[in-house]
Structure 1
Amino acid sequence: MAIINLQRFMVAYVRDITLRNQFTQNKEAYYAQFELTSSERKLAEQIDYSILQVTAEKMLKDRIDRRESEFQEFFRILRLLDEYEEFVYEFAVQYPQGSLSRKSEAERLSAFAAAYIRKRSLPDILLELMEYSRLAADMTYSSKQSPRAAGPLILPRNQRLYLREPYAVRKFRYDLVRFLETVESRDDVEAFPAQDCLLFFQKSYRNALSCVILEVDDETLLNLLKEGLSFNTILLHAPNKETRANWADSIEYLFQEGILGLDDADDTLKGGENNEKSDRSYDIRPSG
Protein backbone atom coordinates (compact mmCIF):
# COMPACT_ATOMS: atom_id res chain seq x y z
CA MET A 1 0.00 0.00 0.00
CA ALA A 2 1.50 3.32 -1.10
CA ILE A 3 1.54 6.04 1.53
CA ILE A 4 3.43 8.70 -0.42
CA ASN A 5 0.92 11.45 0.31
CA LEU A 6 0.89 10.58 4.01
CA GLN A 7 4.67 10.83 4.07
CA ARG A 8 4.47 14.25 2.39
CA PHE A 9 1.93 15.34 4.99
CA MET A 10 4.10 14.17 7.91
CA VAL A 11 7.17 15.97 6.55
CA ALA A 12 5.13 19.15 6.15
CA TYR A 13 3.71 18.76 9.67
CA VAL A 14 7.20 18.62 11.17
CA ARG A 15 8.51 21.55 9.13
CA ASP A 16 5.53 23.92 9.00
CA ILE A 17 4.65 25.63 12.28
CA THR A 18 1.44 27.09 10.79
CA LEU A 19 0.21 23.65 9.79
CA ARG A 20 0.92 22.29 13.27
CA ASN A 21 -0.92 25.16 14.95
CA GLN A 22 -3.99 24.83 12.74
CA PHE A 23 -4.14 21.08 12.18
CA THR A 24 -6.42 20.12 15.08
CA GLN A 25 -9.17 22.49 13.90
CA ASN A 26 -8.66 21.79 10.18
CA LYS A 27 -7.83 18.10 9.85
CA GLU A 28 -10.11 17.42 6.91
CA ALA A 29 -8.86 20.47 5.03
CA TYR A 30 -5.25 19.33 5.39
CA TYR A 31 -6.10 15.74 4.48
CA ALA A 32 -7.68 17.08 1.31
CA GLN A 33 -4.79 19.45 0.63
CA PHE A 34 -2.33 16.55 0.68
CA GLU A 35 -4.76 14.26 -1.21
CA LEU A 36 -4.70 11.54 1.43
CA THR A 37 -6.54 8.37 0.45
CA SER A 38 -9.06 6.81 2.82
CA SER A 39 -6.46 4.29 4.00
CA GLU A 40 -3.91 7.08 4.51
CA ARG A 41 -6.44 9.04 6.54
CA LYS A 42 -6.97 6.06 8.81
CA LEU A 43 -3.23 5.82 9.37
CA ALA A 44 -3.03 9.58 9.96
CA GLU A 45 -5.59 9.24 12.76
CA GLN A 46 -3.34 6.69 14.49
CA ILE A 47 -0.24 8.92 14.54
CA ASP A 48 1.03 10.13 17.91
CA TYR A 49 1.30 13.82 17.04
CA SER A 50 2.96 14.62 20.36
CA ILE A 51 6.04 12.75 19.11
CA LEU A 52 6.00 14.69 15.84
CA GLN A 53 5.62 17.91 17.85
CA VAL A 54 8.75 17.13 19.88
CA THR A 55 10.64 16.33 16.67
CA ALA A 56 9.44 19.56 15.05
CA GLU A 57 10.43 21.68 18.03
CA LYS A 58 13.89 20.11 18.15
CA MET A 59 14.45 20.69 14.43
CA LEU A 60 13.40 24.33 14.73
CA LYS A 61 15.58 24.84 17.80
CA ASP A 62 18.60 23.33 16.03
CA ARG A 63 17.97 25.53 13.01
CA ILE A 64 17.65 28.72 15.08
CA ASP A 65 20.64 27.77 17.25
CA ARG A 66 22.79 27.62 14.12
CA ARG A 67 21.64 31.06 13.04
CA GLU A 68 22.06 32.42 16.55
CA SER A 69 25.66 31.19 16.68
CA GLU A 70 26.34 33.22 13.52
CA PHE A 71 24.31 36.32 14.44
CA GLN A 72 25.05 36.17 18.16
CA GLU A 73 25.24 39.93 18.74
CA PHE A 74 21.94 40.56 16.97
CA PHE A 75 20.10 37.80 18.83
CA ARG A 76 21.48 38.96 22.18
CA ILE A 77 19.90 42.38 21.69
CA LEU A 78 16.64 40.81 20.48
CA ARG A 79 16.46 38.98 23.80
CA LEU A 80 17.20 42.21 25.64
CA LEU A 81 14.25 43.82 23.86
CA ASP A 82 11.95 40.84 24.58
CA GLU A 83 11.55 40.31 20.83
CA TYR A 84 13.31 36.96 20.52
CA GLU A 85 10.30 34.60 20.72
CA GLU A 86 8.16 36.65 18.32
CA PHE A 87 11.06 37.03 15.87
CA VAL A 88 11.76 33.28 15.82
CA TYR A 89 8.06 32.42 15.46
CA GLU A 90 7.49 34.80 12.54
CA PHE A 91 10.68 33.67 10.81
CA ALA A 92 9.58 30.03 11.11
CA VAL A 93 6.14 30.90 9.72
CA GLN A 94 7.57 32.78 6.73
CA TYR A 95 10.35 30.24 6.08
CA PRO A 96 9.10 26.87 7.34
CA GLN A 97 11.87 24.97 5.58
CA GLY A 98 15.54 25.68 6.20
CA SER A 99 18.03 26.08 3.37
CA LEU A 100 20.82 23.57 2.82
CA SER A 101 23.21 26.48 2.27
CA ARG A 102 24.46 28.46 5.28
CA LYS A 103 24.90 31.52 3.08
CA SER A 104 21.37 31.32 1.66
CA GLU A 105 19.84 30.88 5.10
CA ALA A 106 21.89 33.82 6.42
CA GLU A 107 20.70 36.02 3.54
CA ARG A 108 17.13 34.96 4.27
CA LEU A 109 17.51 35.86 7.92
CA SER A 110 19.08 39.24 7.12
CA ALA A 111 16.25 40.21 4.77
CA PHE A 112 13.62 39.01 7.23
CA ALA A 113 15.27 40.87 10.11
CA ALA A 114 15.27 44.16 8.19
CA ALA A 115 11.54 43.84 7.47
CA TYR A 116 10.80 42.76 11.05
CA ILE A 117 12.70 45.70 12.57
CA ARG A 118 10.76 48.19 10.44
CA LYS A 119 7.40 46.50 11.05
CA ARG A 120 7.91 46.48 14.81
CA SER A 121 9.38 50.01 14.85
CA LEU A 122 12.49 48.79 16.67
CA PRO A 123 15.56 51.05 17.06
CA ASP A 124 17.35 51.35 13.72
CA ILE A 125 20.65 50.47 15.37
CA LEU A 126 19.44 46.86 15.02
CA LEU A 127 19.74 47.17 11.23
CA GLU A 128 23.39 48.06 11.67
CA LEU A 129 23.88 45.32 14.22
CA MET A 130 22.52 42.74 11.79
CA GLU A 131 25.06 43.91 9.20
CA TYR A 132 27.80 43.74 11.84
CA SER A 133 26.84 40.17 12.74
CA ARG A 134 26.57 39.15 9.08
CA LEU A 135 30.04 40.44 8.26
CA ALA A 136 31.51 38.74 11.32
CA ALA A 137 29.85 35.45 10.32
CA ASP A 138 31.02 35.75 6.70
CA MET A 139 34.61 36.25 7.86
CA THR A 140 34.36 33.44 10.40
CA TYR A 141 33.12 30.82 7.94
CA SER A 142 35.22 31.92 4.96
CA SER A 143 38.44 30.19 3.93
CA LYS A 144 41.91 31.54 4.65
CA GLN A 145 43.49 32.92 1.49
CA SER A 146 47.04 33.78 2.59
CA PRO A 147 50.17 31.61 2.98
CA ARG A 148 50.88 30.13 6.38
CA ALA A 149 54.31 28.50 6.08
CA ALA A 150 57.25 29.23 8.41
CA GLY A 151 58.48 32.82 8.42
CA PRO A 152 60.25 35.46 10.52
CA LEU A 153 59.13 36.33 14.03
CA ILE A 154 60.52 39.86 13.75
CA LEU A 155 58.85 42.34 11.41
CA PRO A 156 61.18 43.14 8.47
CA ARG A 157 61.48 46.88 7.86
CA ASN A 158 61.88 46.84 4.08
CA GLN A 159 59.63 43.98 2.99
CA ARG A 160 56.20 44.74 1.56
CA LEU A 161 53.25 44.07 3.88
CA TYR A 162 49.69 43.13 3.03
CA LEU A 163 46.40 42.73 4.88
CA ARG A 164 45.57 39.05 4.96
CA GLU A 165 42.47 38.02 3.02
CA PRO A 166 39.59 37.88 3.44
CA TYR A 167 38.77 41.16 5.12
CA ALA A 168 36.14 43.89 4.88
CA VAL A 169 35.90 47.51 6.02
CA ARG A 170 32.53 49.07 6.84
CA LYS A 171 31.39 52.42 8.18
CA PHE A 172 28.51 52.34 10.65
CA ARG A 173 26.36 55.15 12.03
CA TYR A 174 26.80 53.82 15.55
CA ASP A 175 29.81 52.78 17.62
CA LEU A 176 28.75 49.14 17.73
CA VAL A 177 31.78 48.00 19.70
CA ARG A 178 30.91 50.34 22.57
CA PHE A 179 27.21 49.52 22.13
CA LEU A 180 27.81 45.81 22.65
CA GLU A 181 30.09 46.48 25.60
CA THR A 182 27.71 48.79 27.47
CA VAL A 183 24.01 48.16 26.79
CA GLU A 184 22.16 46.24 29.49
CA SER A 185 18.50 47.21 29.03
CA ARG A 186 15.91 48.29 26.48
CA ASP A 187 16.34 51.88 27.67
CA ASP A 188 20.08 51.64 26.95
CA VAL A 189 19.38 50.43 23.42
CA GLU A 190 16.83 53.15 22.67
CA ALA A 191 18.98 55.93 24.13
CA PHE A 192 22.26 54.94 22.48
CA PRO A 193 23.52 57.93 20.44
CA ALA A 194 24.56 57.88 16.82
CA GLN A 195 28.30 58.19 16.24
CA ASP A 196 30.11 57.20 13.04
CA CYS A 197 32.42 54.24 13.46
CA LEU A 198 34.73 52.53 10.95
CA LEU A 199 35.31 48.82 11.57
CA PHE A 200 37.71 46.31 10.05
CA PHE A 201 36.64 42.65 9.83
CA GLN A 202 39.08 39.86 9.00
CA LYS A 203 39.15 36.08 9.02
CA SER A 204 41.17 35.04 12.06
CA TYR A 205 44.44 33.26 11.31
CA ARG A 206 44.79 32.20 14.95
CA ASN A 207 41.54 30.31 15.48
CA ALA A 208 39.64 28.07 13.08
CA LEU A 209 36.19 29.52 13.77
CA SER A 210 36.76 33.12 14.68
CA CYS A 211 37.20 36.56 13.21
CA VAL A 212 39.02 39.74 14.14
CA ILE A 213 37.06 42.97 14.55
CA LEU A 214 39.10 46.16 14.83
CA GLU A 215 37.98 49.71 15.37
CA VAL A 216 39.81 51.88 12.83
CA ASP A 217 41.13 55.01 14.53
CA ASP A 218 43.41 56.11 11.68
CA GLU A 219 41.98 55.66 8.19
CA THR A 220 45.15 57.05 6.61
CA LEU A 221 47.20 54.20 8.05
CA LEU A 222 44.61 51.68 6.89
CA ASN A 223 44.76 53.02 3.33
CA LEU A 224 48.56 52.80 3.35
CA LEU A 225 48.39 49.20 4.55
CA LYS A 226 46.01 48.42 1.68
CA GLU A 227 48.67 49.62 -0.78
CA GLY A 228 51.07 46.84 0.19
CA LEU A 229 53.95 49.09 1.27
CA SER A 230 56.85 48.21 3.55
CA PHE A 231 57.09 49.28 7.19
CA ASN A 232 59.70 51.95 6.42
CA THR A 233 57.83 53.29 3.39
CA ILE A 234 54.61 53.65 5.38
CA LEU A 235 56.39 55.61 8.11
CA LEU A 236 57.70 58.06 5.49
CA HIS A 237 54.08 59.19 5.02
CA ALA A 238 53.63 60.10 8.68
CA PRO A 239 53.07 63.87 9.10
CA ASN A 240 54.95 64.13 12.39
CA LYS A 241 57.06 62.26 14.93
CA GLU A 242 54.16 61.36 17.20
CA THR A 243 52.11 59.87 14.36
CA ARG A 244 55.17 57.97 13.14
CA ALA A 245 55.62 56.39 16.58
CA ASN A 246 51.93 55.47 16.79
CA TRP A 247 51.97 53.94 13.33
CA ALA A 248 55.09 51.94 14.15
CA ASP A 249 53.43 50.49 17.25
CA SER A 250 50.23 49.70 15.36
CA ILE A 251 52.00 47.98 12.46
CA GLU A 252 54.10 45.90 14.84
CA TYR A 253 50.97 44.91 16.73
CA LEU A 254 49.05 43.99 13.57
CA PHE A 255 51.96 41.89 12.33
CA GLN A 256 52.35 40.00 15.59
CA GLU A 257 48.58 39.33 15.69
CA GLY A 258 48.70 37.81 12.20
CA ILE A 259 46.56 40.52 10.63
CA LEU A 260 49.43 41.58 8.36
CA GLY A 261 51.42 39.21 6.18
CA LEU A 262 54.66 39.56 4.21
CA ASP A 263 54.50 39.90 0.43
CA ASP A 264 56.47 37.46 -1.76
CA ALA A 265 57.28 35.26 1.22
CA ASP A 266 55.60 32.50 3.16
CA ASP A 267 54.78 33.68 6.63
CA THR A 268 53.03 32.48 9.76
CA LEU A 269 51.87 33.68 13.12
CA LYS A 270 54.30 33.96 15.97
CA GLY A 271 54.18 30.69 17.90
CA GLY A 272 52.28 28.84 15.15
CA GLU A 273 48.61 28.51 14.38
CA ASN A 274 45.96 27.44 16.86
CA ASN A 275 43.16 25.45 15.22
CA GLU A 276 41.00 24.99 18.29
CA LYS A 277 37.41 26.14 18.03
CA SER A 278 36.60 29.34 19.82
CA ASP A 279 34.07 32.12 20.00
CA ARG A 280 33.79 33.26 16.43
CA SER A 281 34.37 36.98 16.95
CA TYR A 282 36.41 39.13 19.22
CA ASP A 283 37.73 42.66 19.33
CA ILE A 284 41.44 43.36 19.40
CA ARG A 285 42.88 46.83 19.61
CA PRO A 286 46.37 48.14 20.33
CA SER A 287 46.70 49.45 23.86
CA GLY A 288 47.63 53.01 24.55
Structure 2
Amino acid sequence: MSAAIPTTGTDRPGPAPGEDAGPAVISLRGAVATVGGRPVLRGIDLTVGPGEVVALLGANGSGKSTTVKSVIGSVPLDRGGLELFGTPQRKFRDWHRIGYVPQRTTAAGGVPATVREVVSTGRLPQHGLLPFRRKDRAAVDRALAAVGMLDRAGDGVAHLSGGQHQRVLIARALVGRPDLLIMDEPMAGVDVDSQQVLAGILRTEVERGCAVLLVLHELGPLEPLIDRAVVLRDGCVAHDGPPPRGVGQHALPGHDHVHPHADDHHRTTQGLLA
Protein backbone atom coordinates (compact mmCIF):
# COMPACT_ATOMS: atom_id res chain seq x y z
CA MET A 1 0.00 0.00 0.00
CA SER A 2 1.37 3.43 -0.88
CA ALA A 3 1.93 6.05 1.75
CA ALA A 4 -0.84 8.56 2.38
CA ILE A 5 -0.56 11.76 0.36
CA PRO A 6 -0.14 14.85 2.55
CA THR A 7 -2.89 17.47 2.40
CA THR A 8 -0.46 20.21 1.42
CA GLY A 9 2.62 20.14 -0.73
CA THR A 10 4.66 21.92 1.91
CA ASP A 11 4.00 19.03 4.33
CA ARG A 12 5.85 16.54 2.16
CA PRO A 13 9.05 15.29 3.76
CA GLY A 14 12.14 16.99 2.38
CA PRO A 15 15.83 16.17 2.76
CA ALA A 16 17.02 15.38 6.26
CA PRO A 17 18.91 18.17 8.05
CA GLY A 18 22.30 18.52 6.44
CA GLU A 19 21.32 16.32 3.50
CA ASP A 20 22.13 17.74 0.08
CA ALA A 21 19.03 17.79 -2.12
CA GLY A 22 21.21 18.24 -5.21
CA PRO A 23 21.21 21.07 -7.76
CA ALA A 24 18.05 22.91 -8.70
CA VAL A 25 16.02 21.19 -11.38
CA ILE A 26 15.42 24.58 -13.02
CA SER A 27 17.53 27.66 -12.38
CA LEU A 28 16.52 30.62 -14.55
CA ARG A 29 18.31 33.88 -13.83
CA GLY A 30 17.67 37.32 -15.30
CA ALA A 31 15.83 35.82 -18.27
CA VAL A 32 15.03 38.28 -21.04
CA ALA A 33 13.23 37.10 -24.18
CA THR A 34 11.34 38.57 -27.10
CA VAL A 35 8.64 36.95 -29.21
CA GLY A 36 7.86 38.40 -32.63
CA GLY A 37 10.01 41.42 -31.82
CA ARG A 38 8.01 42.17 -28.67
CA PRO A 39 9.70 42.01 -25.24
CA VAL A 40 7.91 39.34 -23.18
CA LEU A 41 10.32 38.35 -20.40
CA ARG A 42 12.01 41.28 -18.67
CA GLY A 43 14.38 39.66 -16.18
CA ILE A 44 12.68 36.54 -14.81
CA ASP A 45 14.24 34.62 -11.93
CA LEU A 46 12.74 31.16 -11.40
CA THR A 47 14.02 28.21 -9.39
CA VAL A 48 12.43 24.79 -9.02
CA GLY A 49 14.06 22.41 -6.56
CA PRO A 50 14.11 18.60 -6.64
CA GLY A 51 10.65 17.23 -5.84
CA GLU A 52 9.15 20.72 -5.63
CA VAL A 53 5.78 21.70 -7.14
CA VAL A 54 5.70 25.29 -8.39
CA ALA A 55 2.70 27.06 -9.90
CA LEU A 56 3.38 29.81 -12.42
CA LEU A 57 0.50 32.28 -12.22
CA GLY A 58 -0.45 35.53 -13.92
CA ALA A 59 -2.87 37.20 -16.29
CA ASN A 60 -2.86 36.51 -20.02
CA GLY A 61 0.21 38.02 -21.62
CA SER A 62 2.22 38.10 -18.40
CA GLY A 63 4.87 35.73 -19.80
CA LYS A 64 3.93 32.38 -18.26
CA SER A 65 3.98 30.27 -21.42
CA THR A 66 7.06 32.05 -22.74
CA THR A 67 8.85 31.23 -19.49
CA VAL A 68 8.22 27.50 -19.80
CA LYS A 69 9.05 27.56 -23.52
CA SER A 70 12.39 29.18 -22.67
CA VAL A 71 13.04 26.32 -20.21
CA ILE A 72 12.42 23.65 -22.86
CA GLY A 73 14.43 25.61 -25.44
CA SER A 74 11.71 26.58 -27.91
CA VAL A 75 12.08 30.29 -27.10
CA PRO A 76 15.74 31.38 -26.94
CA LEU A 77 16.86 33.84 -24.28
CA ASP A 78 18.21 37.20 -25.38
CA ARG A 79 19.94 37.58 -22.02
CA GLY A 80 20.17 35.67 -18.77
CA GLY A 81 21.13 32.18 -17.73
CA LEU A 82 19.40 28.82 -17.55
CA GLU A 83 20.57 25.59 -15.92
CA LEU A 84 18.71 22.28 -15.94
CA PHE A 85 19.70 19.78 -13.25
CA GLY A 86 22.82 21.84 -12.65
CA THR A 87 23.88 21.84 -16.31
CA PRO A 88 23.83 24.95 -18.55
CA GLN A 89 21.05 24.54 -21.08
CA ARG A 90 23.41 24.76 -24.05
CA LYS A 91 25.20 21.64 -22.76
CA PHE A 92 22.11 19.79 -21.53
CA ARG A 93 21.40 16.55 -23.41
CA ASP A 94 19.21 14.52 -21.03
CA TRP A 95 15.90 15.74 -22.44
CA HIS A 96 14.28 12.42 -21.56
CA ARG A 97 14.35 13.65 -17.96
CA ILE A 98 11.80 16.34 -18.83
CA GLY A 99 8.15 15.68 -19.65
CA TYR A 100 6.27 18.56 -21.29
CA VAL A 101 2.52 19.01 -21.74
CA PRO A 102 1.76 22.00 -24.00
CA GLN A 103 -1.39 24.05 -23.91
CA ARG A 104 -4.31 21.89 -24.89
CA THR A 105 -4.29 21.08 -28.57
CA THR A 106 -5.25 18.21 -30.81
CA ALA A 107 -2.98 15.41 -29.66
CA ALA A 108 -1.81 14.41 -33.14
CA GLY A 109 -1.82 17.89 -34.67
CA GLY A 110 -4.28 16.81 -37.39
CA VAL A 111 -2.28 13.71 -38.39
CA PRO A 112 -4.27 10.44 -38.25
CA ALA A 113 -2.87 8.48 -35.32
CA THR A 114 -4.01 6.19 -32.56
CA VAL A 115 -3.77 6.97 -28.87
CA ARG A 116 -0.96 4.44 -28.49
CA GLU A 117 1.02 5.94 -31.39
CA VAL A 118 0.86 9.44 -29.92
CA VAL A 119 1.92 8.30 -26.46
CA SER A 120 4.73 6.20 -27.96
CA THR A 121 6.39 9.34 -29.33
CA GLY A 122 7.20 10.23 -25.73
CA ARG A 123 9.85 7.47 -25.76
CA LEU A 124 11.77 9.00 -28.67
CA PRO A 125 14.08 11.20 -26.54
CA GLN A 126 15.41 8.03 -24.90
CA HIS A 127 16.41 6.07 -27.98
CA GLY A 128 15.48 8.04 -31.10
CA LEU A 129 14.01 6.03 -33.95
CA LEU A 130 15.32 2.64 -32.86
CA PRO A 131 12.71 -0.14 -32.88
CA PHE A 132 10.49 -0.28 -29.81
CA ARG A 133 11.33 -2.94 -27.29
CA ARG A 134 9.13 -4.79 -24.84
CA LYS A 135 9.96 -2.35 -22.05
CA ASP A 136 8.91 0.58 -24.26
CA ARG A 137 5.54 -1.01 -24.95
CA ALA A 138 5.14 -1.72 -21.22
CA ALA A 139 5.95 1.92 -20.42
CA VAL A 140 3.28 3.10 -22.87
CA ASP A 141 0.73 0.78 -21.25
CA ARG A 142 1.63 2.09 -17.79
CA ALA A 143 1.29 5.71 -18.87
CA LEU A 144 -2.07 5.05 -20.53
CA ALA A 145 -3.32 3.19 -17.46
CA ALA A 146 -2.22 6.09 -15.26
CA VAL A 147 -4.46 8.51 -17.16
CA GLY A 148 -7.34 6.04 -17.53
CA MET A 149 -6.95 5.66 -21.30
CA LEU A 150 -5.57 2.13 -21.70
CA ASP A 151 -8.92 0.89 -23.00
CA ARG A 152 -8.77 3.54 -25.76
CA ALA A 153 -5.20 2.73 -26.86
CA GLY A 154 -6.24 1.59 -30.34
CA ASP A 155 -8.70 4.43 -30.97
CA GLY A 156 -7.93 7.32 -33.26
CA VAL A 157 -7.23 10.53 -31.38
CA ALA A 158 -9.59 12.36 -33.75
CA HIS A 159 -12.49 10.68 -31.94
CA LEU A 160 -11.54 11.84 -28.44
CA SER A 161 -13.08 14.58 -26.34
CA GLY A 162 -11.07 17.59 -25.23
CA GLY A 163 -10.42 16.11 -21.81
CA GLN A 164 -9.34 12.80 -23.35
CA HIS A 165 -6.93 14.64 -25.68
CA GLN A 166 -5.39 16.25 -22.62
CA ARG A 167 -5.01 12.87 -20.93
CA VAL A 168 -3.19 11.53 -24.00
CA LEU A 169 -0.76 14.48 -23.94
CA ILE A 170 -0.13 13.88 -20.25
CA ALA A 171 0.50 10.17 -20.87
CA ARG A 172 3.00 11.11 -23.59
CA ALA A 173 4.86 13.27 -21.05
CA LEU A 174 4.78 10.54 -18.39
CA VAL A 175 5.92 7.65 -20.56
CA GLY A 176 9.61 8.47 -20.04
CA ARG A 177 9.30 8.59 -16.23
CA PRO A 178 10.57 12.21 -16.14
CA ASP A 179 12.32 13.86 -13.22
CA LEU A 180 10.72 17.18 -14.19
CA LEU A 181 7.16 17.55 -15.45
CA ILE A 182 6.17 20.85 -17.07
CA MET A 183 2.49 21.49 -17.83
CA ASP A 184 1.14 24.58 -19.59
CA GLU A 185 -2.50 25.23 -18.58
CA PRO A 186 -3.35 21.55 -18.01
CA MET A 187 -6.74 22.40 -16.44
CA ALA A 188 -7.99 24.70 -19.20
CA GLY A 189 -11.19 23.54 -20.86
CA VAL A 190 -11.26 20.04 -19.38
CA ASP A 191 -14.15 18.51 -17.47
CA VAL A 192 -14.21 17.96 -13.72
CA ASP A 193 -13.47 14.23 -14.06
CA SER A 194 -10.34 14.96 -16.09
CA GLN A 195 -9.25 17.57 -13.55
CA GLN A 196 -9.52 14.99 -10.78
CA VAL A 197 -7.57 12.47 -12.89
CA LEU A 198 -4.85 15.08 -13.37
CA ALA A 199 -4.70 15.80 -9.64
CA GLY A 200 -4.31 12.08 -8.93
CA ILE A 201 -1.56 11.73 -11.54
CA LEU A 202 0.39 14.62 -10.06
CA ARG A 203 0.07 13.17 -6.55
CA THR A 204 1.63 9.95 -7.80
CA GLU A 205 4.44 11.74 -9.66
CA VAL A 206 5.21 14.00 -6.71
CA GLU A 207 5.26 11.03 -4.35
CA ARG A 208 8.00 9.37 -6.41
CA GLY A 209 10.07 12.60 -6.30
CA CYS A 210 9.27 14.28 -9.62
CA ALA A 211 9.55 18.07 -9.70
CA VAL A 212 6.60 19.86 -11.32
CA LEU A 213 6.19 23.28 -12.93
CA LEU A 214 2.57 24.18 -13.72
CA VAL A 215 1.24 27.15 -15.66
CA LEU A 216 -2.17 27.89 -14.16
CA HIS A 217 -4.86 30.55 -14.01
CA GLU A 218 -6.43 29.02 -10.91
CA LEU A 219 -5.10 26.38 -8.54
CA GLY A 220 -8.37 24.44 -8.29
CA PRO A 221 -7.99 20.79 -7.22
CA LEU A 222 -4.20 21.08 -7.57
CA GLU A 223 -3.94 23.56 -4.69
CA PRO A 224 -3.04 20.96 -2.00
CA LEU A 225 -0.02 19.90 -4.05
CA ILE A 226 1.49 23.34 -4.63
CA ASP A 227 4.63 24.19 -2.64
CA ARG A 228 5.23 27.64 -4.09
CA ALA A 229 3.61 30.13 -6.42
CA VAL A 230 5.46 32.46 -8.76
CA VAL A 231 3.23 35.26 -10.04
CA LEU A 232 4.25 37.08 -13.22
CA ARG A 233 3.16 40.54 -14.26
CA ASP A 234 4.28 42.17 -17.50
CA GLY A 235 7.20 39.78 -17.85
CA CYS A 236 8.48 40.29 -14.30
CA VAL A 237 8.11 38.34 -11.07
CA ALA A 238 5.54 40.06 -8.85
CA HIS A 239 5.50 37.38 -6.14
CA ASP A 240 7.47 34.26 -5.25
CA GLY A 241 6.27 32.48 -2.14
CA PRO A 242 3.27 30.75 -0.58
CA PRO A 243 0.41 30.16 -3.04
CA PRO A 244 -2.52 32.56 -2.77
CA ARG A 245 -5.75 31.04 -1.48
CA GLY A 246 -8.60 30.60 -3.97
CA VAL A 247 -6.60 32.38 -6.60
CA GLY A 248 -8.23 33.73 -9.75
CA GLN A 249 -7.02 36.28 -12.26
CA HIS A 250 -8.66 39.20 -10.44
CA ALA A 251 -7.17 38.10 -7.13
CA LEU A 252 -3.57 37.83 -8.27
CA PRO A 253 -1.15 40.09 -6.43
CA GLY A 254 -0.73 43.35 -8.30
CA HIS A 255 -3.71 42.80 -10.61
CA ASP A 256 -5.53 46.06 -11.32
CA HIS A 257 -9.09 46.08 -12.56
CA VAL A 258 -12.01 48.48 -12.89
CA HIS A 259 -15.25 47.66 -11.16
CA PRO A 260 -18.14 48.25 -13.61
CA HIS A 261 -20.10 50.09 -10.90
CA ALA A 262 -17.21 52.42 -10.07
CA ASP A 263 -16.01 55.65 -11.65
CA ASP A 264 -13.94 55.08 -14.82
CA HIS A 265 -10.92 56.65 -13.13
CA HIS A 266 -11.27 54.65 -9.93
CA ARG A 267 -9.01 51.61 -10.04
CA THR A 268 -8.52 49.10 -7.28
CA THR A 269 -5.83 46.59 -6.63
CA GLN A 270 -6.72 43.30 -5.05
CA GLY A 271 -4.06 41.08 -3.54
CA LEU A 272 -4.41 37.86 -1.66
CA LEU A 273 -0.96 38.25 -0.16
CA ALA A 274 -1.51 41.24 2.09
TM-score tier by shorter-chain length is under 0.3
Structure showing the higher strand proportion among its residues = 2
Higher relative contact order structure (alpha carbons within 8 Å, sequence separation ≥ 6): 2
What is the TM-score of this pair, normalised by structure 2?
Answer: 0.25
Q: TM-score, normalised by structure 1?
A: 0.24
Task: Flag the structure with higher helix content.
Answer: 1
* Larger gyration radius, structure 1 or structure 2: 1
